[in-house]
Amino acid sequence: MKKKKDLTEGDHSFKNWLRIVGKENSYLLMFVIFLAATIVSVFFPNTIGAMPDETWNLYIAGFTGLITILIGYKGLYQKWNDLKNGRVR
């Protein structure tokens, strides 16, 4: 059985995660932008343009929330997990 190679150098702290995943990773910036857009659209719904109906604010909050979850999983978690298990995509 082949032993998995840990590409994270053995340290599994948040500081190491931020260094490895955040370095040269555009997904981290997109994640922060969409997270901020989700928070603004949920807590301050009337600041995102002059939407005539409140259901549009819910659509915007749902869309930005979904994109935030997808970027968080595919761009951040999956990259970290691949590096922990010695895979490179």
Q: How far is CA 59 from CA 36, 52, 62, in A?
A: 16, 13, 5
pLDDT at 50: 59
Below-50 pLDDT ranges, the chain: none
Decide if 1 is inside a domain.
no
Decide if 14 is inside a domain.
no
Q: Is 45 exposed, middle or buried (0-12, 13-18, 19+ CB in 10 A)?
A: middle
Largest CA distance in the chain: 62
pLDDT at 70: 92
Phi first, then psi: what are they for 51, rounded to 5°? -80, 125
pLDDT at 22: 67
Decide if 12 is inside a domain.
no
Decide if 35 is inside a domain.
yes
Task: Give me the number of domains the chain comprises.
Answer: 1
Decide if 53 is inside a domain.
yes
Decide if 18 is inside a domain.
no
The answer to whether residues 11 and 80 touch, using CB atoms and an 8 Å cutoff, is no
Structural domain range at position 47: 31-81
Decide if 56 is inside a domain.
yes
